[in-house]
Structure 1
Amino acid sequence: MIHILFFVWCLVNYYDNYGVHGIHHTLQEDLELERQLQLINKTPVKSIHTKFGYIVDCIDIYKQSAFDHPLLKNHKLQRKPSFQNSFEKASVMNSSTKSIFGLEKDECPRGTVPIRRTTKNNLIQSKLLSNNHILLQDLPGVHRAEVYLVGDGPYYKVSGANSIYNPKVSRNDQMSMSHIWVQNGPKDATNKISIGWHVAPQYHGDDTGSYVFSSWTSDNFNKTGCFNLICSGFVQTHPTKYIGARLDIVSIYDGLMMETEISITKDLKGNWWINYLGENIGYFPSKLFSNMNSADQVGWGGRTFTPLNTLSPQMGSGYLPDNNFVRACYFRNISFQNDSRTDYGPPQYATEKNQDKPSCFGVHYYGNLGHELGYSLLFGGPGGDCGN
């Protein structure tokens, strides 16, 4: 009888932990996870335990896991992008200029860069996310409220100032995100880089806070790419700001506005640099991509993901656009670069919406509003029963 009860307890515990996703880890799989962790997490010069519960390791800039990628074995570290355009510091509307994410100055010793430590759970959840990737084109359960440029480019930069919120999710396996992106190639072989902020508790150890994220792929997430630094590829260069950081402060509906200026820019050597708050965080080397000499699409907006037959989470502030920039989530001063390498605001006739459930999530592009707003859009919504 005791053995039967023990078996039943094990069976219940198995389904509690893995049954929803159909994943069972054998000893061999656990050993493989440990092997991957050893490859990803390099020996730190110093480790910092953040107030949010995760650990940031200070890694020798030349020994970060990016250089383990087989395509980057002979890659020479680029400390700065090879282009002339300088970045201006982003303003933070109606707030102080306190940094909203990253480490304090000099927390990591000179010559090292902050890398968020990857856990076994991060690896497990990243495998689940790769099967249900929010950035795939036509995945059931994904909803979109985005604006993108019509035409084939070529494009070399996308940028904008994005308000930061903390949309509510009702399940651990839901995700809500705000992002900009560059991509190139056909659907089944898309090369893509996306950066922004997201709420992804499954990925962040059940934490429902808002986090800085990046993702990339060279084949529409078939065999390549990942969120953040789960796979090697992204080269970290900034001494305090890092991918995977939790955002300290978020906007309040009809109140305090917090924002970050973000951009993705290709430099003259072919590397794609990501920039937050007017500072270059690091880059994706050109050799990672099969077809990314330029982008044939750039865009701005939000996405959500929820499993089938469940209510969708909020997007942005949780409110539909209502022409008020302190209510719905916004991108302001959006721009792109073409062959001229000059920043342009997208004219309305050159944009299209990617909006699949307007009763749940909306997006409205206003064109040039002038003054501090410039070329701007509002997006987001309450989610709910969106017909997943």
Structure 2
Amino acid sequence: MPKMINILLLVMCLVTIITAERDHGMQRVLKEEDLELERQLNILNKPPIKSINTKSGYIVDCVDINKQPAFDHPLLKKHKLQRKPIFERNVTETKVRNSPIKPKSIFILEKVKCPEGTVPIRRTTKNDLIKKKSSFKDHNLTENGSINHFTRLYLSIEGSPYYGVSGTTSIWNPKIYKSQSSSNNLYVQRGEGDNLNKISVGWHVSPQLYNDYQTHLYLFWTSGKKGCFNMLCKGFVQVDRSFIFGSRISKISTYGGTIIDLPLQISRDNVGNWWLKVADRDIGYFPKALFSSLDNGAQEVGYGGYTTTPAGTTSPAMGSGYMPDKDYTHASYFKFVKYLNIIRTPYDPLAFMVQSSNDAPDCYGLANYKDEMKRFGYSFLFGGPGGKCNT
């Protein structure tokens, strides 16, 4: 019996030692991760010339335009700031406006005004960096256990290369739950898998990123396995003093009533940089050095909606949450859909280029009216309530 007791005591001691070592190891890993997050925060949050507290509760730092985080990217060490895109303005100017359906109001984007020579950057928190990993995986379609659905119209490789894309989308606030997201966007891309180069811009609802259920202006980019939302990593060069990616859009469309919309554009300039234009303002650009293949133009450009939800849950609403019924005050839309050719001339899509994709027809719809609705140019409706999607 004493021998058995000694053996049990020895086993208990070993378990205690192993547990202590494991806990110590975990603490060491957590400490290393915490130090890495602090290092990233020091890079992203530059010393501000001025700081602004927004009504939504986050802080915007006005940072020297020449010292913004983008220039810490190893591929941009020798990059020279470009304040304006270098090409002729062939694209029809589209001002901030609402749809001609009920022309009374314009969308209101939460924005600030930074001093001359500075740009506004939303201050990044440690929690933002923790959330960005899962959000990036959701949008980048990696193996992360989430279910993702697209409903989109796109221009195929047969018409490529494309040097830009533009369109105006209606703004909504679809109902979603925690860990879900829903967006309207347009995009340019080349490659696939680990070689995917992609830029998207639009609006979305993403409680993972913002800790709220409001509609926000956003950008997303990826080059291979690297990239992020908004300014949560080094890369995008901001030039506008007022607009902030990640800011809240406080005025949205009303079903059957006033429709609020947002003109968007992505275009490659003559030196190969990709510019983002929102509501007639050049917000900034992605230097060509960030991408491995977009310098030769995009193979595909597209427009539409995108949702994510954890596995085992029902999918969220997309757009207005209603299926297309030919009424532009009901379902979400993209109108004045165009692509840009090599000399940056905007064209309506040609029939041989246009393809559509809707991987969850039980949950979402897409109706392409082309140029049938004359006052909307080339346009289509899309979206739906979500639910149990049998795909």
TM-score exceeds 0.5: yes
Matches within 5 A, 1:356-367: 356-367=359-370
Q: After TM superposition, give the deviation of residue 274 of structure 1 in Å.
A: 0.3
Contact 1:301–1:379 (CA under 8 A) maintained in structure 2:
yes
Q: Cα–Cα, structure 1 residues 28 and 196, in superposed 2: closer, same or farther, change >3 Å?
A: same
Q: After TM superposition, give the deviation of residue 136 of structure 1 in Å.
A: 2.7
Distance in 2 between the 1:204 and 1:191 partners?
25
Deviations 1:289-311 (A, max 9, x none): 01112000000000100011101
**Is 1:121 matched up with 2:127?**
yes
Gaps of 5+ in 2: 1-27
**Is 1:64 matched up with 2:71?**
no
Higher helix share: 2
Q: Cα–Cα, structure 1 residues 321 and 189, in superposed 2: closer, same or farther, change >3 Å?
A: same
Distance in 2 between the 1:344 and 1:350 partners?
12
Distance in 2 between the 1:304 and 1:145 partners?
9
Matches within 5 A, 1:1-388: 26-85=30-89, 87-93=93-99, 94-96=102-104, 98=106, 100-104=108-112, 107-130=113-136, 132-136=137-141, 141-152=147-158, 153-170=160-177, 172-205=178-211, 207-219=212-224, 222=225, 224-293=226-295, 294-387=297-390
Gaps of 5+ in 1: 1-23
Q: After TM superposition, give the deviation of residue 204 of structure 1 in Å.
A: 0.5
SS at 1:127 equivalent: helix
Contact 1:348–1:367 (CA under 8 A) maintained in structure 2:
no
Q: After TM superposition, give the deviation of residue 133 of structure 1 in Å.
A: 2.2
Q: After TM superposition, give the deviation of residue 135 of structure 1 in Å.
A: 3.8
SS at 1:256 equivalent: coil
Q: After TM superposition, give the deviation of residue 268 of structure 1 in Å.
A: 0.3
Distance in 1 between the 2:75 and 2:290 partners?
7
Distance in 1 between the 2:31 and 2:375 partners?
57
Contact 1:251–1:258 (CA under 8 A) maintained in structure 2:
yes
Number of equivalences = 357
Q: Cα–Cα, structure 1 residues 285 and 166, in superposed 2: closer, same or farther, change >3 Å?
A: same
SS at 1:30 equivalent: helix
Contact 1:102–1:240 (CA under 8 A) maintained in structure 2:
no
TM-score by length of 2: 0.87
Q: After TM superposition, give the deviation of residue 338 of structure 1 in Å.
A: 2.0
TM-score by length of 1: 0.88
Contact 2:155–2:354 (CA under 8 A) maintained in structure 1:
yes
Deviations 1:231-284 (A, max 9, x none): 100000001012111111111111111111000000001000001001110000
Q: Cα–Cα, structure 1 residues 83 and 340, in superposed 2: closer, same or farther, change >3 Å?
A: closer
Contact 2:94–2:263 (CA under 8 A) maintained in structure 1:
no
Contact 2:362–2:390 (CA under 8 A) maintained in structure 1:
no
AA aligned to 1:31 is L
Q: Cα–Cα, structure 1 residues 330 and 25, in superposed 2: closer, same or farther, change >3 Å?
A: farther
Q: After TM superposition, give the deviation of residue 339 of structure 1 in Å.
A: 2.6
Contact 2:107–2:260 (CA under 8 A) maintained in structure 1:
no
1:3 alignment counterpart: none
Q: After TM superposition, give the deviation of residue 370 of structure 1 in Å.
A: 4.9
2:17 alignment counterpart: none
Runs (4+) off by over 6 Å: none
Give the fraction of aligned pairs with identical amino acids, expressed as a percent.
46
Distance in 1 between the 2:53 and 2:206 partners?
21
Deviations 1:178-235 (A, max 9, x none): 1000001233311100110110001102x1001111111111xx2x111111110000
Give RMSD over aligned pairs.
1.8
AA aligned to 2:205 is V
